[in-house]
C-alpha cells in the first residue's frame, strides 16, 4: 500500500511540474529588423502552442547583449502569438507598434551573429540583416530564412510595418534645385558673353 501511495505521489508530482517546464520552450525567434545605425531594432518571437507564457525567468541574448524578460506574458493563450522585443523608440515610428519587451539600441549586430532564446531553446546563427530601413530577416518555424518587408506583431495582436529608408529631406531637395538653377543662370550668362557681336 505504501508503495502504491509513493508511486501515485511521484506521478502527481511529475504531472504538476510538467506545466512549469512547458511554460516557455516553444518560442522561436522569427524576425530581426534594424535600421542602418542600429538605433531602431526589433526581434520578434513566435509560439505554436498554448500555455507558453512563462518567459519571465529567461533571456534573449545576441552576440553582444542580453535581455532579461523578468515578467511573464499576461495570458496563457499563446497559440500562434508573437512576443515583440524592440527598442524604446520603435512604437513612435510611423507604422511602429508597442513592444512587449524593450531592448537597447544596437542590441544585435547587423552584419551577422547569434540570437539565442532561453539558453539554447532556440539559437539562430543569422547572416547580414538588411539595413535599408524597410526589409527584415525572417525565419520560418522550419528554419527557412528569407528577406522581406518588416512585419512586426506584438502579444496583444497589433501589427505594423515601418519605413525608415533614408530619404533626401525637402530642405535638401530645394537646396539642390536652387544650386542647379544658379549654375544654369551663370552658364547662360557666360554663353551670352561668348556669342560674337553682330555688326
Torsion of CA 118, 56, 54, 122, to 10 degrees: -10
Q: What's residue 166's pLDDT? A: 77
- Phi, psi dihedral angles at 46 (to 5 degrees): -130, 145
What is d(CA 86, CA 152) in angstroms, rounded to the nearest whole number? Answer: 10
Q: What's residue 176's pLDDT? A: 54
Q: What's residue 182's pLDDT? A: 58
What is d(CA 64, CA 161) in angstroms, rounded to the nearest whole number? Answer: 26
Q: What's residue 21's pLDDT? A: 42
Contact 116, 60 (CB under 8 A): yes
Q: Which of 31, 34, 32 is nearest to 165 (CA)?
A: 34
pLDDT by residue for the chain (199 residues), tens digit each? 554 544 444 444 434 433 444 499 999 999 999 999 999 999 999 999 999 999 999 999 999 999 999 999 999 999 999 999 999 999 999 999 999 999 999 999 999 999 999 999 999 999 999 999 999 999 998 999 999 999 999 999 999 999 999 754 444 455 555 555 555 555 566 555 655 555 5
Amino acid at each position: 500500500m505504501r508503495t502504491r501511495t509513493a508511486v501515485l505521489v511521484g506521478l502527481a508530482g511529475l504531472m504538476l511540474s510538467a506545466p512549469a517546464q512547458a511554460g516557455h520552450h516553444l518560442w522561436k525567434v522569427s524576425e530581426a529588423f534594424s535600421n542602418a545605425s542600429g538605433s531602431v531594432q526589433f526581434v520578434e518571437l513566435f509560439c505554436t502552442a498554448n500555455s507558453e507564457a512563462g518567459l519571465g525567468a529567461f533571456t534573449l541574448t545576441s552576440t553582444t547583449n542580453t535581455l532579461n524578460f523578468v515578467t511573464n506574458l499576461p495570458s496563457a493563450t499563446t497559440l500562434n502569438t508573437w512576443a515583440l522585443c524592440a527598442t524604446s523608440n520603435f512604437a513612435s515610428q510611423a507604422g511602429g507598434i508597442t513592444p512587449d519587451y524593450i531592448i537597447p539600441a544596437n542590441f544585435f549586430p547587423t552584419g551577422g551573429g547569434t540570437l539565442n532564446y532561453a539558453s539554447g531553446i532556440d539559437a539562430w546563427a543569422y547572416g547580414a540583416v538588411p539595413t535599408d530601413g524597410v526589409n527584415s530577416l525572417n525565419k520560418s518555424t522550419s528554419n527557412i530564412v528569407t528577406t522581406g518587408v518588416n512585419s512586426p506583431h506584438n502579444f496583444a495582436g497589433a501589427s505594423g510595418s515601418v519605413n525608415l529608408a533614408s530619404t533626401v529631406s525637402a530642405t535638401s531637395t530645394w537646396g539642390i534645385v536652387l544650386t542647379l538653377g544658379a549654375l544654369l543662370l551663370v552658364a547662360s550668362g557666360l554663353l551670352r558673353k561668348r556669342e560674337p557681336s553682330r555688326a
